[in-house]
Amino acid sequence: MNGQQPIFILPEGTLRNVGKNAQRTNIAAAKAVGDTVRTTLGPKGMDKMLVDSIGDIVITNDGVTILDEMEIEHPAAKMMVEVAKTQEEAVGDGTTTAVIFGAELLKKAEELLDQNIHPTIITKGFKIAKEEALRVLNEGICIDIGKNSDDVLRKIAMTAMTGKSAEKASQHLANLAVEAVNMIKDEESVDQENIKLEKKQGGGIEDTELIKGVVIDKEVVHGGMPKKVENAKIALIDSALEVKETETDAKISITSPEQLEAFLAQEEKMLKGMVDKIVKSGANVVFCQKGIDDTAQYYLAKHKIMAARRVKKSDMEALARATGAKIVTNLDDLTEDSLGYAKIVEEKKIAGEEMIFVRDCKSPKSVSILIRGGTEHVVDEAERAMRDAIGGIIAALENRKVVAGGGAVEVELSKRLKDFAQKYSGREQLAILAFADALEVVPRTLAENAGLDPIDALTNLRAAHDKGKETYGLDVFTGDVIDMWESGVIEPLKIKTQAIKSGSEAAEMILRIDDVVNAGKLEKGGSPSMPPGGGMGGMPPM
Query: Based on the domain organization, do 139 and 150 belong to the same domain?
Result: no
- Please state the three-class secondary structure of 317-362 as a single string: HHHHHHHCCCEECCHHHCCHHHCEEEEEEEEEEECCEEEEEEECCC
CATH number at residue 246: 3.50.7.10
Check if 515 is active-site. no
Q: How confident is the model at residue 542 (pLDDT cuts 50, 70, 90)?
A: very low
Of 16-25, 406-415, 501-510, 528-537, minimum mean pLDDT range: 528-537
Query: Number of folded domains in the chain?
Result: 3
d(CA 235, CA 257): 38
CATH number at residue 124: 1.10.560.10
Domain boundary residue, one of 379, 397, 415 = 397
For residue 290, the enclosing domain spans 214-363
Domain boundary residue, one of 349, 381, 397 = 397
Is residue 246 in a domain?
Answer: yes
Instruction: Give tens-digit pLDDT for 34-85.
Output: 888 888 888 888 888 888 778 888 888 777 888 888 878 888 888 888 888 8
Amino acid 193: pLDDT: 80
| Contact criterion met (CB below 8 Å) for 424 and 435 | no
Amino acid 510: pLDDT: 85
Q: Could you tell me the sign of the dihedral formed by the alpha carbons of 106, 107, 112, 117, in that order? A: positive
d(CA 542, CA 529): 17
| Contact criterion met (CB below 8 Å) for 97 and 80 | no
Instruction: Give tens-digit pLDDT for 150-192.
Output: 888 888 888 888 777 666 778 888 888 888 888 888 765 677 7
Which of 47, 62, 315, 475 is labelled catalytic? Answer: 62
Which of 25, 86, 95, 497 is labelled catalytic? Answer: 95
CA dihedral 134, 105, 160, 195 (to 10 degrees): -70
CATH number at residue 194: 3.30.260.10
Check if 96 is active-site. yes
Query: Based on the domain organization, do 153 and 139 belong to the same domain?
Result: no
Distance from the Cα of residue 313 to its chain's centroid: 21
Query: Based on the domain organization, do 323 and 347 belong to the same domain?
Result: yes
Is residue 104 in a domain?
Answer: yes
Query: Based on the domain organization, do 247 and 325 belong to the same domain?
Result: yes
Query: Based on the domain organization, do 94 and 138 belong to the same domain?
Result: yes
Nearest to 401 by CA among 72, 32, 143, 115: 143
User: Pairing mode, if any, of strands 401-404 and 143-144?
Assistant: antiparallel
- Reduced to 3 DSSP states, what percent helix, strand and coil does the chain have, rounded to the nearest 5? 50, 15, 35
Which of 40, 96, 159, 295 is labelled catalytic? Answer: 96
Is residue 11 in a domain?
Answer: no
pLDDT averaged over the chain?
83
Query: Based on the domain organization, do 249 and 352 belong to the same domain?
Result: yes
Which of 293, 315, 388, 475 is labelled catalytic? Answer: 388
What percentage of the chain carries pLDDT values higher than 70?
Answer: 88
Query: Based on the domain organization, do 266 and 381 belong to the same domain?
Result: no
Is residue 109 in a domain?
Answer: yes
Domain boundary residue, one of 313, 344, 363 = 363
The answer on pLDDT for 361 being more than 70 is yes
Amino acid 459: pLDDT: 92
Check if 95 is active-site. yes
Is residue 256 in a domain?
Answer: yes
pTM, two decimal places = 0.75
Q: How confident is the model at residue 16 (pLDDT cuts 50, 70, 90)?
A: low
Nearest to 102 by CA among 87, 113, 119, 120: 87
Amino acid 192: pLDDT: 77
Query: Based on the domain organization, do 411 and 308 belong to the same domain?
Result: no
Q: How confident is the model at residue 530 (pLDDT cuts 50, 70, 90)?
A: very low
d(CA 354, CA 222): 13
Is residue 539 in a domain?
Answer: no
Amino acid 538: pLDDT: 44
Amino acid 533: pLDDT: 44
Query: Based on the domain organization, do 192 and 218 belong to the same domain?
Result: no
Is residue 9 in a domain?
Answer: no
The residue-averaged pLDDT of 220-224 equals 87
Amino acid 221: pLDDT: 87
Query: Based on the domain organization, do 191 and 250 belong to the same domain?
Result: no
Q: Enumerate the β-bridge partners of residue 373.
A: 201, 202
CA atoms within 13 A of residue 96's CA, in its CB half-sphere? 26
Query: Based on the domain organization, do 234 and 358 belong to the same domain?
Result: yes
CB proximity list for 394: less than 8 A, separation 6 or greater: 92, 181, 190, 192
Query: Based on the domain organization, do 129 and 256 belong to the same domain?
Result: no
Is residue 502 in a domain?
Answer: yes
